[in-house]
Amino acid sequence: MRSDLIQLSYLAAAVLFILGLKGMSSPRTARRGIMWAGVGMLVAVLATFFSPHLSNYLLMFVAIAVGGGIAYVAARKVAMTDMPQMVAIYNGMGGGAAALIAANEFLHFGGSGLTMGASFAVLGAVGALIGAISFSGSMIAFAKLQGIIKKSFLFPGQNVINLVVLAGAVALGAFVILQHTGHLGGPVGPTLGLFFALALLYGVLMTLPIGGADMPVVISLYNALTGLAVGFEGYVLGNAALIVAGIVVGAAGTLLTQLMAKAMNRSIGNVLFAGFGAKGGQELTGAVEGSMKEMAPDDAAISMAFGQKVIIVPGYGMAVAQAQHKVWELAKLLQEKGVQVKFAIHPVAGRMPGHMNVLLAEAGVPYDLIYDLDEINGEFPTADAALVIGANDVVNPAARDDPGSPIYGMPILDVDKAQTVLVVKRGRGAGFAGIENKLFYADNTRMVYGDAQDVVGKLIAGVKKV
């Protein structure tokens, strides 16, 4: 009876998770969605406390109190611009937990001298491998986005070394499986330890060469991997809630990863096995004609204030300068002057898809002023001005018409079709991907140099004077 109730609670939790994720795929129901999922989690955790034959309650409470406290405070304190790395670190923790569950199960069976069923040993080991890779990989992703690790580590033969390490981990995993199904003897502990060490090492090696621009794809991939690891460990534990939630996230995360890679015109394999710019062959220097034309913020303000329609294109530069509040202030001022203002967001602007949306939402921009690439691209020819703030590669026309460019084929925002393009940029250098941008040399482009926060402040002052 009691275990029936527990199973029923797990079923309810699984249903709530799915409804929650469904809710989160529409802006109107998104907040309700996360609450549904939250209720599901609460139900599942409470039910677990009543599981039969459970011990170590004190340890459990301490772990939950300490972990919950740390995570809650950190999540509340962190700045909105740092959200991507927080997702990375929390995701890594989940992967780590899945790997530890596997370690525990193997030790439990190994210690009692019992053998495991083949399917349990195999899925347990696969989940452990994936979970451990997701853990160490996510930590490196966090360190890179946080700026703790600044360089991309590239050396010849890297892919071969990585492959050898992965092969070693897989071989040891097979060894662990054979030991636990009774096909091989020998001490269990050292094999298991070495297996985890190699899996963790592979996560580190795999993530180190990947550049910051590709990090969103990688975090999304690790998110999907953690989901799979959780699902597999759920099978080992015979827990349906873990299986359903884990596999649902694994599938959804895989789809999300594909969508993101596609928006950048790269395959997942390309992101993982070739550091960006590592090819380095296509030099574009000298191919650009014309010169960059600078414009003072006051003049830029006037050209916007007297227009009918202004489209604002934010990029990572806006996030770095924390300029989103000022940008919204500017947009409101322009609206008061009778200018129609829209925000255009490229799928991969910033460090994660939707990163810009979150920042603009934080500043108070209503989401119905924010448009996707497909919705807005037809409107640029009718815009009097396009204001590009700290975006570069996502507005580079080379993606449209230069087959030699590394970003050729990536969908871009067609800002160059606006009557005037105002580009707010910190300096004259190339963008994150190190690619020269012809947009900056176009006849209808004016450059406004400076930190996004400063420049937008000056634009606000300029519009007020009109």
Partner 1 sequence: MITGFAALYIFILAAFVGYEVIGRVPVILHTPLMSGSNFVHGIVIVGAMVALGAADTTPERIIGFLAVLLGTINAVGGYAVTERMLEMFKSSKDRDAAKGGGDA
Stretch that binds partner 1, among 10-18, 207-215, 384-392, 446-454 (CB under 8 A): 10-18
Query: 354: phi > 0 → left, psi -120 to 50 → alpha, else beta; which?
Result: left
Q: Which H or E element spans position 17?
A: helix 2-23
- In angstroms, rounded to a whole number, what is the distance separating the alpha carbons of residues 122 and 128? 10
The footprint of partner 1 on residues 113-172 (CB under 8 A) is: 117, 119
- In angstroms, rounded to a whole number, what is the distance separating the alpha carbons of residues 397 and 233? 47
How many chain residues interact with partner 1 (CB under 8 A)? 116
The footprint of partner 1 on residues 413-442 (CB under 8 A) is: none
By C-beta, is 31 or 183 nearer to partner 1?
Answer: 31
Q: Which two tokens stand for residue 412?
A: 């871009």
Work out which of 129, 243, 330, 424 binds partner 1, going by CB under 8 A: 243
Task: Establish if 253 lies at the interface with partner 1 (CB under 8 A).
Answer: yes
Under 8 Å CB-to-CB from 154, ≥6 apart: which residues? Answer: 209, 275, 278
- In angstroms, rounded to a whole number, what is the distance separating the alpha carbons of residues 434 and 228? 35
| Gyration radius of the chain's alpha carbons | 26
Do 95 and 132 form a contact (C-beta atoms < 8 A)?
yes
- In angstroms, rounded to a whole number, what is the distance separating the alpha carbons of residues 350 and 42? 33
Task: Establish if 260 lies at the interface with partner 1 (CB under 8 A).
Answer: yes
Stretch that binds partner 1, among 17-25, 151-159, 269-277, 382-390 (CB under 8 A): 17-25
- Least separation, in Å, of the C-beta of 318 and partner 1? 15
**Residue 266, amino acid:** R
By C-beta, is 348 or 455 nearer to partner 1?
Answer: 348
By C-beta, is 250 or 462 nearer to partner 1?
Answer: 250
- Least separation, in Å, of the C-beta of 296 and partner 1? 32
CA–chain centroid gap for 140, Å, is 13
Stretch that binds partner 1, among 247-255, 287-295, 306-314, 398-406 (CB under 8 A): 247-255
- The contact mask relative to partner 1 for 39-78 (x = CB under 8 A, - = no) is --x--xx--xx-x-xxxxx-xx-xxx-xxx-xxx-xxx-x
- Least separation, in Å, of the C-beta of 125 and partner 1? 16
Work out which of 169, 245, 319, 463 binds partner 1, going by CB under 8 A: 245
By C-beta, is 284 or 369 nearer to partner 1?
Answer: 369
By C-beta, is 33 or 462 nearer to partner 1?
Answer: 33
- Least separation, in Å, of the C-beta of 165 and partner 1? 23
- Nearest in space to 241 (alpha carbons), one of 387, 47, 34, 462: 47
The footprint of partner 1 on residues 332-371 (CB under 8 A) is: 345, 347, 352-355, 357-358, 361-362, 364, 366-370
Query: Which ranges constitute the DSSP H helices of 181-239?
Result: 188-207, 215-237
- The contact mask relative to partner 1 for 297-336 (x = CB under 8 A, - = no) is ----------------------------------------
End-to-end CA distance of the chain, in Å? 75
Collapsing DSSP states into helix, strand and coil, what is residue 1? coil
- Least separation, in Å, of the C-beta of 310 and partner 1? 17
Task: Establish if 174 lies at the interface with partner 1 (CB under 8 A).
Answer: no
Work out which of 233, 329, 393, 451 binds partner 1, going by CB under 8 A: 233
Do 26 and 253 form a contact (C-beta atoms < 8 A)?
no
Q: To 5 degrees, how large is the angle CA 359–CA 374–CA 297?
A: 50
Task: Establish if 218 lies at the interface with partner 1 (CB under 8 A).
Answer: no
- The contact mask relative to partner 1 for 78-107 (x = CB under 8 A, - = no) is x-x--xx-xx-xxx-xx-xxx-xx-xxx-x
User: Catalytic one among 298, 368, 393, 454?
Assistant: 393
Stretch that binds partner 1, among 173-181, 205-213, 216-224, 295-303 (CB under 8 A): 216-224
Under 8 Å CB-to-CB from 394, ≥6 apart: which residues? Answer: 313, 315, 346, 348, 349, 410, 412, 413
Work out which of 2, 3, 5, 38 binds partner 1, going by CB under 8 A: 38
Work out which of 108, 183, 293, 428 binds partner 1, going by CB under 8 A: 108
* CA-to-CA dists, residue 55 to 4, 61, 72, 109, angstroms: 20, 11, 26, 17
Do 161 and 198 form a contact (C-beta atoms < 8 A)?
no
Task: Tell me, yes or no, if 401 is annotated catalytic.
Answer: no
By C-beta, is 45 or 148 nearer to partner 1?
Answer: 45
Task: Establish if 227 lies at the interface with partner 1 (CB under 8 A).
Answer: yes
The footprint of partner 1 on residues 179-208 (CB under 8 A) is: none
For the stretch 174-178, contacts whose Cβ atoms lie closer than 8 Å and that sit 24 or more positions apart, written own/partner, are: 174/125, 176/106, 176/121, 176/125, 177/118, 177/121, 177/122, 177/125
- In angstroms, rounded to a whole number, what is the distance separating the alpha carbons of residues 26 and 33? 9
Task: Establish if 24 lies at the interface with partner 1 (CB under 8 A).
Answer: yes
Task: Establish if 394 lies at the interface with partner 1 (CB under 8 A).
Answer: no
Residues catalogued as catalytic? 393
